[in-house]
Amino acid sequence: MDLQCYRSQDESTFNVGIWEGANPLTSSLSLLSMQLVFIIVLTQLLFYVLKPVKQPRVVSEILAGIILGPSFLGSNKTFKKIFYPTRGEQVLETLASFGVVFFVFLIGVKTDIRILFHAGKRAPILGMTGLIVALAIIMPSCLMNMMSLEPDILKVPMFMFSMSVSLSMNSFAVIVPILSDLNLLNSDLGRIALSGSVTNDFVGWTMLASIIISDASAVSAQTAIWAAFSIVALVLFIVLAVRPFALWVVEKTPQGKPIEEGYIFSFLLLILLVAFYTDIIGTNSMTGALVLGLVIPDGPPLGSALTEKIEIIMKGLIVPLYYTVAGSKINLWHLTFAKLPGIIFLGVLGKIAGTLLPSLYYKIPFLDALALSLFMTSKGIIEVMTYNFWMSNKLIEKNTYSILMLSVILVPAVCVPIASTLYDPARCYAVYKRRTIQHLKTEAELRILACVSDQSHVPGMLNLLEASYPTIQSPICVYLLQLVELVGRLVPVFIPHKIDRANMADGSTGFEADPIINAFLLHEQTNQGVLSVAPYTTISPYTSMHDEICRLAVDKRVSLILLHFHQRKDIAGHVRANTGLRNVNRKVISSAPCSVAVLIDRQATDTTTVTSEFMHQVVVLFFGGGDDREALAYGERMAKHPGINLTVIRFLPSRGIKDDQAERKLDNRILDDIKAIGLRTRKVKYREELVGDMENIVQVIRALDQESYDLVMVGMRHTWNAVMLADRLSDWSECPELGVVGDFLATAEFDSMFSILILKQQDQGGMLAVTAYNVPVNAEEPPTH
C-alpha cells in the first residue's frame, strides 16, 4: 500500500496573490485551474497530431496521461512538485470521477434501446457471436492457472469470470464516438456495428449483474438476497417512477418550447442520488447513471435539453481529464509481462473471428466484414471505468492495470485506422445504369429525391415539381426526405412514414401536424394519378447525412437528387447560411449515384408559405458538357408544360479553344433536337452568344434580369472550365462546389429575383458498381412507388 504524506496547512482554497509574495500554486483552486489548462492543451495537441493517421480521441487522451505520469514528466521531481504535487492528485481524480458520472448518464440519454428490437436478426447475431467466441477463448485462460503468474490479480473464480466477460465485451458507448469521428454513423457498416454493440452490451452487462449477485452469495444467502433486492429496487424505481415522470415532463412541455429549468435541475439531482445509491450497494456508480439515462426519452425536448446542458463541458473537459488521470497511473518502466498480454491478444482475435465469419455468411463483402470486425474490437470509456473500479477495490494492482490500460490504447490505435481504410461507404452508392434525366426513356417514370430541411424550402420545391410536368405517360414519383440534425441522440434514425391513402379522399392527409409532409401530400392530391409522394425523415448528424441521402437514392433508383441551397434571406433581408447543410450538399454532389440539382430559391425566407408564383419563363445557359446537357434535358421536359416557355442560350467562344470532339458531337446532337422543337412551336427559343472572356459571360447573365425570367438552369461543370479558370473568376468564389457560373449566380452580389437550378449529371465513373448489402431500417417500408 502506497503511503503519501503532505502538510495540510500548506494548502488553501485561495491565495493572497503574487504581489504579496505568495506562491499561487499553494492554492487548490489555482493549482487545479493550471492542471486543467495543461491537460486540455496537451490532449488537444496530441489529438491534432494523431488525427491524420485516424487515431480516436481515447488514444491521444490516455497518451497525455502517460506523458504527465511517472513514465515521463512525472518522473522529474521538480515538475511533479510544482505541477502535480501529491495533494492535488486526489482533487483531480475526484473531479474526473464525479464528472464522468454525468457523461455516462448522457450516453444513456442519447441511446435508443429500441434499436434492439428493430435491428433485424443479423446485427444482434454478429454482436453475440463476437462476445461468445472471445469469451470462449479468454475464460478458460483465466480460470485454468494461466493467471497464476500474474502477481497482482485477485485469484477468485468470480472475479476471473467477471474479467473474462469484460475483456470479451465491446460497448455501444465506445463504438459511437469512433464512428462519429469518422463520419460513419449513417453508413451500412455503422448501423450494423451500432446494433451489434447494443446487443453485446445487453448480454455482457446481464452477465456482470449476475456475477455481482453470485459474489454476494459467497458471503451468505442473506447477502445475496439483499444484493439482488437492491439492484431490482433500483431498476423498479427508475422504470416505474423516473420514466413516468420524464414522460410527464415531455407531455407537459408545449411543442417548440424549452424544458423548464426546475425540471432540468431535478434530473441532475437524480443523477447524484442514483450514483450515491449504486455506490452504496457495491456496484459502480456509473452503472446507475447509465441505467437512469436509458429511461429518459431521447431527442427533443427533454433529451436534447439535458444534452445541451451537460455535453460541452463533459466532452471538452471532463472526459479528457478522466482519460488523462487514468493514463497518469501507468508506469512504463516498471512493467512485468506474463500471460495477460497474450490473453488480451487472443481475445481480440476471438472478437475478430466471431464477427468476421458470420458477416461473410450473411454475404457482407470481405473488406467490409473485416472492417466491421476491427471496429467491434475497439476499447474506450467503459473499459477505462472498469479497470479503475477494479484497482480502486484492490482487485488488481498497478502492473495489471497498466497492461490493461495499454490495451485500451493499442487495440483502437491499430484496428481503427485499418478499418477506416478498408471501408469506403461510397462503394455502396455505385450503380450499373445511367440514372439521369437525359438518358431517361420518354415514357418512363421520373423519380426524384427531394431533400428538405426547412419549411421555407417547400414552395420552391413544389413549383419545380409542377414545372417538371408529370403526365400519365411520364409520371413523377417524389421521395421526400426531411433532413433533421441529430441532437440529444447517439444513433441516427430513419423513418419511412406510412400514408393511409384510403382516408385521403376527404382532403385530409393525416400529416397536418407536419407542415412539410402535409404540403407535399396536398400537392399529390392536386396532381392525382400523375404524381405520387413517399415521405421519409432522417435524423442524423450533418457530417454523415449524405450517406442516408445516397443510400435512399440507390434503393429507389432515382434519376435526380434535388437539394436546396444552404443560404436564404431572413425577414430583415439578411443572408443566413446553414454550414451544416452546405457540407451535406457538397458530399452529396461528390458521391451521388445519380444526377444532382441544387435549387436557389430567391423567394425563400423565414416566412415563406406555399403560395409563391409558378415558374413560367425558363432559360437554360448552355456552355457544353454533360452537366449542361442534363440541364437542357430537364428544360426540354419542362417545355412540354403548356404554361412554360423555354429559352436556350448557347455560349460560343470568340477565340479558339481545345475541346473534346466527342463532347462537342453530343452537345450538337441535343441542341439540334431543341432547334427542331423551336421550329415547330413558339414556346422554345434558341439563340447564341459570342463571348471572348468571363467578363462577356457576366454581362450576358446580368442582362437576364431585364427579360423577366422565373428560372435559370445551368450545369455545374463545363467544357469551358479551363477558360473560365484562366480568367481567375474562381479566386474569389464563395461556393466552388456549384461550378464557376453556378457560384456567380449564387453569390449575394448577383441580386436577382429569378430562381436558379444548378445541375450535375451522374459521373460515369460511378457506374463501376459494387453490390451493397441491405441494412434493415427502424420501421416498416411504405409501398414502393
Average pLDDT over residues 128-140: 88
pLDDT level of residue 627 (50, 70, 90 thresholds) = very high
Percent of the chain with pLDDT over 70: 81
Q: Are residues 408 and 464 in the same domain?
A: no
In 3D, which of 650, 625, 620 has the Cα closest to residue 638? 620
pLDDT, mean over the chain = 82
Q: Is residue 433 part of a domain?
A: no
Average pLDDT over residues 347-365: 91
pLDDT level of residue 604 (50, 70, 90 thresholds) = low
- The CB-based long-range contact list for 233-239 (8 Å cut-off, 24+ gap) reads 234/274, 234/277, 234/278, 234/281, 234/288, 234/291, 235/291, 238/274, 238/291, 238/292, 238/295, 239/295
pLDDT for 607: 45
- The CB-based long-range contact list for 271-277 (8 Å cut-off, 24+ gap) reads 271/101, 271/102, 271/105, 272/101, 274/234, 274/238, 275/101, 277/234
User: E strand or H helix at 478, and its extent?
Assistant: strand 476-485
List, in sequence order, every residue forming a beta bridge with 493; answer none if it has no partner.
Answer: 539
CATH of the domain at 248: 1.20.1530.20
More confident residue, 114 or 303: 303
Q: Are 426 and 554 in contact (CB under 8 A)?
A: no
| pLDDT above 50 for 609 | no
pLDDT level of residue 783 (50, 70, 90 thresholds) = very low
| pLDDT tens string 663-678 | 888 888 999 888 888 8
Q: Where a domain ends, among 358, 392, 423?
A: 423
pLDDT level of residue 216 (50, 70, 90 thresholds) = low
Q: How far apart are CA 782 and CA 534, in angstroms?
A: 8
In 3D, which of 660, 641, 633 has the Cα closest to residue 435? 633
Q: Are residues 676 and 707 in the same domain?
A: yes
In 3D, which of 687, 611, 678 has the Cα closest to residue 648? 687
pLDDT for 533: 93
pLDDT for 597: 96
Q: Are residues 536 and 638 in the same domain?
A: yes
Q: How far apart are CA 130 and CA 347, in angstroms?
A: 10
More confident residue, 708 or 766: 708
pLDDT level of residue 146 (50, 70, 90 thresholds) = low
| pLDDT tens string 43-96 | 999 999 998 888 888 999 999 999 998 989 988 888 888 888 887 788 888 888
In 3D, which of 696, 691, 746, 693 has the Cα closest to residue 724? 693
Average pLDDT over residues 621-649: 92
Owning domain of residue 530 = 446-767
Average pLDDT over residues 346-362: 92
pLDDT for 229: 84
Q: Is residue 690 part of a domain?
A: yes
pLDDT for 402: 92
Q: Are residues 416 and 508 in the same domain?
A: no
Q: How far apart are CA 752 and CA 318, in angstroms?
A: 50
Q: Is residue 780 part of a domain?
A: no
Q: Is residue 367 part of a domain?
A: yes
In 3D, which of 186, 184, 342, 214 has the Cα closest to residue 282? 214
| pLDDT above 60 for 779 | no
Q: Are residues 408 and 480 in the same domain?
A: no
pLDDT for 781: 37
Q: Are residues 391 and 531 in the same domain?
A: no
Lowest-confidence region among 132-141, 145-154, 309-318, 616-625: 145-154
In 3D, which of 378, 373, 349 has the Cα closest to residue 172? 378
Q: Are residues 322 and 459 in the same domain?
A: no
Beta strands in 518-612 (DSSP E): 531-540, 560-564, 567-569, 575-577, 595-600
| pLDDT tens string 526-551 | 888 899 999 999 988 898 899 889 98
CATH of the domain at 460: 3.40.50.12370
In 3D, which of 600, 609, 446, 445 has the Cα closest to residue 518? 609
Q: 776: cis peptide before it, omega within 30°?
A: no
Task: Find which of 37-51, 295-309, 385-399 is predicted with most confidence, using mean pLDDT.
Answer: 37-51
Q: How far apart are CA 545 and CA 539, in angstroms?
A: 8
| pLDDT above 80 for 723 | no
More confident residue, 784 or 335: 335
pLDDT for 615: 61
pLDDT for 771: 37
Q: Are residues 373 and 453 in the same domain?
A: no
Number of structural domains, the chain?
Answer: 2
| pLDDT tens string 105-125 | 888 887 776 665 565 678 888
In 3D, which of 251, 361, 334 has the Cα closest to residue 66? 334
Angle separating helix axes 340-361 and 157-168, nearest 10 degrees: 50
pLDDT for 780: 36
pLDDT level of residue 778 (50, 70, 90 thresholds) = very low
How crowded is residue 770: how many other Cβ atoms within 10 Å of its Cβ? Answer: 15
Return the SS3 of 577.
strand
Q: How far apart are CA 650 and CA 718, in angstroms?
A: 12
Q: Cell numbers 473488406 label which residue?
A: 367
Q: Are residues 394 and 511 in the same domain?
A: no
Q: How far apart are CA 632 and CA 636, in angstroms?
A: 6
Q: Is residue 775 part of a domain?
A: no
pLDDT for 513: 67
Q: How far apart are CA 775 and CA 785, in angstroms?
A: 20
Distances (CA, A) of 766 to 435, 448, 631: 11, 19, 20
Q: C-alpha dihedral over 652, 657, 661, 664, to 10 degrees? A: -20
| pLDDT tens string 388-437 | 888 887 888 888 899 999 999 999 999 999 999 998 877 766 666 788 99
Q: Is residue 701 part of a domain?
A: yes
Q: How far apart are CA 785 and CA 659, in angstroms?
A: 42
Question: Could you tell me whether strands 755-760 and 531-540 are parallel, antiparallel, or unpaired per DSSP bridges?
Answer: unpaired
pLDDT for 782: 38
Q: Is residue 530 part of a domain?
A: yes
φ, ψ at 149 (rounded to 5°): -85, -5
Q: Which amino acid is present at 403? A: I
pLDDT for 598: 95
pLDDT for 726: 47
Which residues have CB under 8 Å from 194's CB, separation 6+? 115, 123, 172, 175, 176, 179, 185, 491
| pLDDT tens string 740-769 | 888 888 876 666 778 899 999 988 654 433
pLDDT for 302: 84
More confident residue, 772 or 54: 54
pLDDT for 180: 82
Average pLDDT over residues 511-529: 85
pLDDT for 596: 96
Q: Are residues 455 and 342 in the same domain?
A: no
Q: Are residues 525 and 382 in the same domain?
A: no
In 3D, which of 306, 289, 321 has the Cα closest to residue 101? 289
Q: How far apart are CA 54 and CA 40, in angstroms?
A: 20
Q: How far apart are CA 49 and CA 238, in angstroms?
A: 43
Q: Cell numbers 392525382 label which residue?
A: 528
Q: Is residue 779 part of a domain?
A: no
| pLDDT above 50 for 153 | yes
Q: Are residues 402 and 479 in the same domain?
A: no
pLDDT for 578: 87
Q: How far apart are CA 295 and CA 204, in angstroms?
A: 19
